Amino acid sequence: MNEFDLIQQFFSKAHSKRADVVLGIGDDCALLQPKSGYQIAITTDTMVDGVHFDDRLNAADLAHKLVAVNLSDLAAMGAEPCWVSLALTLPSSDTNWLAEFATMLANRLQHYGVSLIGGDTTRGPLTLSLTAQGQLPAGSAMTRCGAKAGDLILVSGSLGDAALALQQEKIASLPVADIAALERRLFRPIPRIELGLAIRQFATSCVDISDGLSADLGHILARSSRASGHALGATINTDQLPVSAAAMLALGAKQAALNALKGGDDYELCFTVSPDLLQQVLAAAEQSNTPVTVIGEINQTGKLTIQYQQQHVDWRAQGYLHFS
């Protein structure tokens, strides 16, 4: 099977019928017609066999996660997801694997109303790359640059489950249902699209949590410090971090909190808001059916301080870094 047959058989129908797709798969480029007065948000994520996943993930898991991690970036900007392009490097044209992957890819894209508009296929070590594009009113995007001293720090959902799912020795004695729930958080994350849209008008900054809360909050502090000209820091109350019952059972309260601080692959949102807008943010989050929790505050100390039950905790940011 050549690459054109592969695309036609498995991916030509993996799209939603959006009116803003003037020309989709089948030509040298796609043609899109965004809404008037809107900006385009673009992100690309790559997943490499042996780095981002192992043989515990089947083809459907990979398709699900590939879509989720890209749309999570759009959620962090407050963008409506619209279009994706897929670059797929395969060791062979395994039709069973391709059918399973393409079916879940189409399922996830249709769920979010997104069109697959193009891409590429090549032979080589299994590598999955997706470029996702969304749109939002010009000037309304949430970025990492706008946090200010006095802003509250909030996170969505619960943290640390995906990282815990990788620690097999610590979860082996958990009930089967708890292990399955943790692995779902790792294999099939849910991008917080609705929350991103709901808080866009209130948040001063936002980032999705992919490398760990401490590392990703550090991106907000660094970018906002440069933008404001002030050395911003933050205090995080780890006993307020939202953690699952399974994490509490496996690790105990304090270690579950530290795991939530450092663990990656959550794909929740971390964002900052002015205290006087907190009630509006909580109402907006409730409307999006997404729980959010206040976990700390931005300050002008120039450093990230971690507390547990009001006591200082010695720690070091350990978010995932390629090439570290």
- List the structure tokens of 136: 């939002």
Residues belonging to the binding site for Mg(2+) are 28, 43-45, 73, 120, 208, 211
The size of the chain, in residues, is: 324
Q: How far apart are the first and last CA of the chain?
A: 39
- DSSP SS3 for 189: coil
The strand order across the sheet containing 115-123 reads 38-48, 127-137, 80-90, 115-123
CA angle 172, 61, 29 (to 5 degrees): 155
Residue 78 tokens, joined: 């407050």
What DSSP line would sit under 22-90, residue for residue?
Answer: EE-TTSSS-EE-PPTTEEEEEEEEEEEBTTTB-TTS-HHHHHHHHHHHHHHHHHHHTPEEEEEEEEEEE
For the annotated binding site, the residues are: 28, 43-45, 52, 73, 119-120, 144, 208, 210-211, 265, 320
State the binding site for substrate.
Answer: 52, 265, 320
User: Measured on CA atoms in the order 10, 15, 19, 24, is the torsion positive or negative?
Assistant: negative
Number of other CB atoms surrounding residue 41 within 10 Å: 20
Q: Which residues are annotated as a binding site for ATP?
A: 119-120, 144, 210
